[in-house]
Structure 1
């Protein structure tokens, strides 16, 4: 009788025992663990990204990060703001006092830039016998009495082409503007018209309108 009771006890014990005591049973939650990987990385100060010249609107920003347990996740914030592709984007991490210093420096830089732009407004950058060229930021003005007969956009390099009606002798003209979005101005003579070519520093759309003194081009 004793042997029978011992046999039944052992059978019941084997049925309720867990297959592997080192893993959680059904219904139990796994306990988070940390990685033992010994990897020393520098603290984040500032990371920079420069967007291509076609970029105009920043829709969102996604940050991919690694957790303490070694898993990788990401977080996205919606932005929906226009941007100037000439300026890089930054991601940084700093204390509050450092942030205040950065904001102060940024305001000073913006103030200087605004003052500089006002000083360079409608700056004359070149001329030919029957036309003067002015640049103000993303605007290009051609002061001329000649009639514009056609205008179009070309690529490689990205440039705006304008043909003006005039039967005149004109030597080839070139003006380089390294600090401007209108990086180069070229003028050439053709039969019955002369051609003004405005090479751009990136990809743009443009709007052309006739004004009192001539024609105004605005980049978008």
Structure 2
């Protein structure tokens, strides 16, 4: 009986107050936690649309939740877009409060009987000659305009000196008229309006 009591007493000396915490000993196995690599914070991502794009209907964002599941959230926009400009996805933004200057027509090309001026998606054609017809050709996209005039001249070619939706103008003569070919930088619809100075080409 005495030996049994001594044995129980010795066990209580080595017992731990809380057996669920590790023993502070050199023989203990260190606790480890699995390190999950966190992706970098979103700064800015860009998306470039094809030249056929004219309106943006909605934007869909797929994101990962804390539990690893994947969800989606969308926003309806229904806005016109300029495909030349990229679309930015960002959590940082700066509002440009500076007043934008009015864009003026820039001279593109000129001959004694016809001149061309461009501004954004418009081309002003100054001429007294009557427009006989106009139509659109593809690969590459270009607008063809035939003007009434009896004239004989060498083929005329003028390329844009800087970034422009109107890339190049070619002029050639035919019997009783001359043909103006306006090469574009992408896919467009167009309209032509009569003006006091001549005609106005508007891309859409």
User: Deviation per CA, 1:111-150, whole angstroms, max 9, x where unpaired?
Assistant: 3xx32x53xx222221112111111221111111112111
CA RMSD of aligned residues (A): 1.7
Separation (CA, whole Å) in 1 of partners of 2:139 and 2:54: 20
- Specify the alignment match of 1:81 in structure 2: 79
Count matched residues: 170
Equivalent residues in 2 for 1:94-113 (5 A)? 94=92, 99=93, 102-103=94-95, 106-108=96-98, 111=99
| Alignment of 1:214 onto 2:188 | no
Corresponding residue SS for 1:43: coil
Corresponding residue SS for 1:107: coil
CA pair 37-196 structure 1, distance change in 2 beyond 3 A:
farther
Corresponding residue SS for 2:68: coil
- Specify the alignment match of 1:147 in structure 2: 130
- Specify the alignment match of 2:47 in structure 1: 49
Separation (CA, whole Å) in 2 of partners of 1:127 and 1:93: 47
Using the TM superposition, give the Cα deviation of residue 203 of structure 1 relative to its aligned residue in structure 2, in angstroms: 1.2
Unpaired runs of at least 5, structure 2: 1-33
Length-normalised TM-score, structure 2: 0.77
Q: Which has the higher helix share?
A: 1
CA pair 170-73 structure 1, distance change in 2 beyond 3 A:
same
Using the TM superposition, give the Cα deviation of residue 209 of structure 1 relative to its aligned residue in structure 2, in angstroms: 1.4
Where do 4+ consecutive residues of structure 1 move more than 2 Å? 36-40
| Alignment of 1:180 onto 2:164 | yes
Match of 2:118 among 132, 135, 142: 135
- Specify the alignment match of 2:186 in structure 1: 202
Corresponding residue SS for 2:83: coil
Length-normalised TM-score, structure 1: 0.72
User: Deviation per CA, 1:173-204, whole angstroms, max 9, x where unpaired?
Assistant: 11111321111111112222111111111111
Using the TM superposition, give the Cα deviation of residue 87 of structure 1 relative to its aligned residue in structure 2, in angstroms: 1.2
Using the TM superposition, give the Cα deviation of residue 45 of structure 1 relative to its aligned residue in structure 2, in angstroms: 0.5
Unpaired runs of at least 5, structure 1: 1-35
Separation (CA, whole Å) in 2 of partners of 1:39 and 1:197: 57
